[in-house]
Amino acid sequence: MALVDPGASLPSPRRADRPGALIEMRGIERTYYMGDNVVRALAGVDLTIERGASIAIMGQSGSGKSTMMNILGCLDQPTKGTYALDGRDVSRLSRAELASVRGRMIGFVFQSFNLLSRTTALENVEMPLLYQGLSSRVRRARAEAALERVGLHNRGDHTPNQLSGGQQQRVAIARALVCEAPIIMADEPTGNLDTRTSYEVMAILQGLVAQGITVVLVTHEPDIAAYARRVVTLRDGLVTEDRTQTPVIAGGSMAGDAAAHAAEQAAAAAAGAHP
C-alpha cells in the first residue's frame, strides 16, 4: 500500500487548514478506443481545485465534461497524467481502492437522480453508509440529519415516485452528504428540473459551499454555471477558459423551506466574504 498517504484517511479532509490543494490534476488524458476509432475525450488537462471551492465545468456537448467528472469522481481513471486527491495519488488505484476513496471523499449528484426505486428516501440516503460499516442506529440518525439538511426530514418514508423531481434531487443531495464527504460532484444536476426547482437545488448546493464543502458542478447551461464562483470551460478535451466570477445567489423563491433559506443565507454570507 505504498500509494496510501497516511493523511488521506483523516476523517475531516474538508478542513481548510490542511496543506495543499484538494484536487491536483496534471496532464490528464483520457482516450477511448472503439475499434479503429480513437477518441481523445481529454487531451491533457491541468486543474487545481482548492478546498471549499465552488467550480463549474462548462462546455458543449462532447467537450469532455462527463469524462472529466468521472475521473475527478474516481469512477474512471486517466489514460495518462496524475491525479492527486487530498494529497494522495489516485490515478493508479485498484477498483476496490477507488470504491473506498469514492465512499469517503466524494458524493455524487446525477442529472437523472439515480435513486433506488421502491426504496424510501431515508433508505436511499442511508445506502452509502452501508459500505462504511456503521451500525443501523448510526446510519438512521445520520440519514435523518442529512435529509433535514435538504429540508426533507418529513419525507423520509416516501419512495422516489411519491416525490417531485426537485425533491428527488434533494434526496440525492442528502445521499451525497451523508458520508460527510468533502467533495460533491454534480453532473447536470438541474438537467431534468424546471427553472423553479433548479433554483431550489442550486440554493442547496450553494449552501453546502458555504459550509465548506467543495462543489464541482458540470453543466452546459451558462445560467447554472453562474451560481459557481469559478468557471472552467472545456473544448475538445482541453481547458480553454478558467475564470473567477461573483456567483449569482440562489434562494428566495422557497419561502417556508428552512433548509433552502439557510442555504441562501449561507451563500450570501459566503459571497460577502469573497467579493
Ligand X SMILES: Nc1ncnc2c1ncn2[C@@H]1O[C@H](COP(=O)(O)OP(=O)(O)O)[C@@H](O)[C@H]1O
The closest of 230, 257, 260, 251 to 50, measured between CA atoms, is: 230
- What is the 8-class DSSP label of residue 55? E
Instruction: Give the binding range for Mg ion (CB under 5 A) out of 36-44, 63-71, 149-157, 249-257.
Output: 63-71
Nearer to Mg ion, 65 or 104 (CB): 65
Q: Is 34 near ligand X (CB under 6 A)?
A: yes
- Please give, one letter per residue, the 3-state secondary structure of 131-200: CCCCCHHHHHHHHHHHHHHCCCHHHCCCCHHHCCHHHHHHHHHHHHHCCCCCEEEEECCCCCCCHHHHHH
Tell me how long the chain is.
275
- How many CA atoms are closer than 13 Å to the CA of 5, on its beta-carbon side? 12
Residue 162, C-beta contacts closer than 8 angstroms, at least 6 positions apart: none
Query: Which partner, Mg ion, another protein, ligand X, none, binds residue 243 by CB below 5 to 8 Å per kind?
Result: none
Instruction: Give the binding range for Mg ion (CB under 5 A) out of 59-67, 97-105, 237-245, 265-273.
Output: 59-67
- Cα 122 to Cα 44, 165, 235, distances in angstroms: 41, 16, 39
Q: Mask 112-131, x = binds another protein (CB under 8 A)?
A: --xxx-x--------xx-xx
Amino acid letter for position 107: G
Q: Is 214 near Mg ion (CB under 5 A)?
A: no
3-42 binders of Mg ion (CB under 5 A): none
Nearer to another protein, 116 or 269 (CB): 116
Q: How many residues bind Mg ion (CB under 5 A)?
A: 1
Work out the number of other CB atoms within 10 angstroms of the CB of residue 133.
6
In the block, cell 451558462 appears at 222
Nearer to ligand X, 6 or 35 (CB): 35
Q: Is 141 near another protein (CB under 8 A)?
A: no
Query: Which partner, ligand X, Mg ion, another protein, none, binds residue 179 by CB below 5 to 8 Å per kind?
Result: another protein
Which of 54, 63, 70, 214 touches another protein by CB under 8 A?
A: 70
Nearer to ligand X, 148 or 236 (CB): 236
- How many CA atoms are closer than 13 Å to the CA of 271, on its beta-carbon side? 19
Q: Is 222 near ligand X (CB under 6 A)?
A: no
- Cα 152 to Cα 65, 101, 259, distances in angstroms: 30, 28, 9
Helix, strand, coil tally for the chain in percent (to 5): 35, 25, 40
CB of 187 to Mg ion, least distance (A): 7
Query: Which partner, Mg ion, another protein, ligand X, none, binds residue 100 by CB below 5 to 8 Å per kind?
Result: another protein
Q: Is 66 near Mg ion (CB under 5 A)?
A: yes
53-112 binders of ligand X (CB under 6 A): 59, 61-67
CB of 256 to another protein, least distance (A): 30
Residues that bind another protein (CB under 8 A): 70, 73, 75-76, 95-96, 99-100, 102-104, 107-108, 110, 114-116, 118, 127-128, 130-133, 136, 175, 179
